[in-house]
Amino acid sequence: MDAPTLFFDLDGTLIDSRGDIANSVNLTRADYGLPPLPLEAVTKMVGNGARQLMLRAMPGFEGRLDEIVENNRRQYAAHLVERTFVFPGVPEGLEALRALGCRMAVTSNKTSAHIPRILERLGILKYFDVTVGGGDVPALKPAPDLLYLAAERMGVPVRPDDWVIGDHYTDLEVGRHAGVRVCHCAYGFGQPRGERFDVEVQDLREFAAHLRGLLG
């Protein structure tokens, strides 16, 4: 069996970005005269891109959504990695997966320009062949478009033995739509919502060990 291609989610899978996401939301809310939301409340709103996040965070402002999303993107860009960190075991897991010969991509609903900046600041950009995100395709996850774009940019076909690795139902659903295997990262802050997965891990090193066993 050849080494599979791995399509990683970002927030809740590789990084814990809740602090910076909540901070950007609350900075935007403050610009519109609204009080801050608790971290736990913002965390439950994450997973479907910036527009859906701000719709949930600022109900009643739907008519000004474009300017609110742009405000939030500016706020987030100014505070990308102040309260964000890599989950324990992620660098070691990525190193082990790279040693197995896997091609690896990050596919995230986050604005695409932010992704390599965050990964570089956290020291893990070197593990990925490509990164794709919001703005690169019309349809965000759970549509599989980001996965297909990443595969196209790597010059590889999407095969049933490839993997989506993520913490949220949107990631797991992408795997189902694309017909590939799915690893659920239970250590993240996503919500699986009954979506199927092939393996569940509490640490990315567990997934590396699982894949090593499959490859023999």
Residue range 3-27: average pLDDT?
97
What are the tens digits of pLDDT across the range 119-177? 999 999 999 999 999 999 999 999 999 999 999 999 999 999 999 999 999 999 999 99
Q: State yes or no: is 203 an active-site residue.
A: no
Residues 52 and 146 in one domain: no
**104/156 same-domain check:** yes
What value does the mean pLDDT of the chain take?
Answer: 96
- What total of structural domains would you count in the chain? 2
Tens of pLDDT, residues 172-211 = 999 999 999 999 999 999 999 999 999 999 999 999 999 9
- Among residues 77, 100, 122, the one where a domain terminates is 77
pLDDT digits (tens, 9 = 90+) for 52-65: 999 999 999 999 99
The secondary structure of residue 11, as a DSSP letter, is B
DSSP of 85-144? EEPTTHHHHHHHHHHTT-EEEEEEEEETTHHHHHHHHTT-GGG-SEEEEETSSSS-TTSS
Picking from 37, 52, 77, the residue at the C-terminal end of a domain is: 77
End of a domain among 59, 77, 95? 77
* CATH value at residue 110: 3.40.50.1000
- Inform me whether the pLDDT recorded for 108 exceeds 90: yes
Instruction: Answer whether residue 50 shows pLDDT above 90.
Output: no
Do 139 and 173 fall within a single domain?
yes
Q: How many CA atoms lie within 13 A of 32 on its CB side?
A: 21
Structural domain including 114 reads 5-16+84-215
pLDDT at res. 47: 79
